Amino acid sequence: MKILVAVKRVIDYNVQVRVKEDNTGVVTDNVKMSTNPPDDNAIEEAVKIKEAGKATEVIAVSIGEEKAQETVRKALAVGADKGILVKVDGVLEPLAVSKLLQKIVEKEKPDLVFMGKQAIDDDCNQTGQMLSALLNWPQATFASKIEIKDKKLEVTREIDEGLETIEINIPAIVTCDLRLNEPRYASLPNIMKAKKKPIEQLNASDLGVDTSPRIDQIKVEEPPKRKAGIKVSSVAELVQKLKNEAKVI
């Protein structure tokens, strides 16, 4: 069984994001970039399945600018066997990404496609479901547990009401929740080894997909700031303020 894992390069989750002064986006120059956190869970799960002898190959694919190669390389360092980079400059919407991934799926013929449930930059939460629709494959979104049962997967999903369990036939798409597993760190020897693993480079135009944006981003602004609050000196004062000033208790 072959597992394709899609990974996205995003601003590191520990970075305080700043809006550009001209309101065209957020500052990305000289900002630390990392793998989108739930994509790390997706890679980890695929590698664990391979280690358990239930998969033969894990392929990491990233779509974006040249530097996204670092993200693919990181996936190779934690256990993916080979990498694919689809180079696209400029804004990419989930619809375009899912169309590119569809082409990669047709080419590589994986049995499973894993990715994070959401990217922490645009917060769209769309790509997995869109890919699943384009391929007409079953989808298991927000997965916090995956069990492989012959040609099926049993997946526990994190939903608003609690947990849901579904069974889907392979081939299938799974989008991963942060609770799925604890991603490993790459060891130095594995980082060195990853440098020798192959990364195939493609251009979006080679795949015949029109990636031009369908959405104009008119402006990006700072969210409205909360007005500064006050410090209270005691619990008694706090309760009085909540009762008499804020009138919430």
Partner 1 sequence: MAVLLIAEHNNKELKPFTLNAVTAASQIDPEVHAVIIGKDCEEGAKALSQLPLVKKVIHVEAAHYENFVAENFAPVIVKLADNYSHIVCSANTFGKNLMPRIAAALDTSQISDIIKVISPDTFLRPIYAGNAFATVKSKDAKKCVTIRPTSFDPCESTGGSASIEKAEAGEEFMHTKFIKREEIKSDRPELGTARVVISGGRGMQNGDNFKLITSIADKLNAAIGASRAAVDAGYISNDHQVGQTGKVVVPDLYIAVGISGAIQHLAGMKESKIIVAINKDGEAPIFSVADYGLEADLFEALPQFLEELNKLNTIQK
> By CB under 8 A, what part of segment 174-193 binds partner 1?
177-179
Query: Are 81 and 132 a contacting pair, CB within 8 Å?
Result: no
Burial class (CB in 10 A: 0-12, 13-18, 19+), 78: buried
Enumerate residues 1-40 that contact partner 1 by CB under 8 A: 11, 13, 16-17, 19, 26
* Binder of partner 1 out of 98, 146, 176, 194 (CB under 8 A): 98
Token output for 178: 């942060």
241 alpha-carbon distance from chain centroid: 43
Query: Least distance from C-beta 220 to partner 1, angstroms?
Result: 5
Minimum distance from residue 234 beta carbon to partner 1 (Å) = 8
91 vs 199, beta carbon nearer partner 1: 91
Given the complex with partner 1, which of 125 and 190 has the nearer CB atom? 125
- Alpha-carbon distance of 249 to 239, in angstroms, equals 8
Return the residues of window 129-168 that contact partner 1 according to CB under 8 A: 129-134, 137-139, 141-142, 154, 157-168
If one asks whether residue 126 binds partner 1 (CB under 8 A), the answer comes out as: yes
CA–CA separation, 145 vs 73, rounded Å? 26
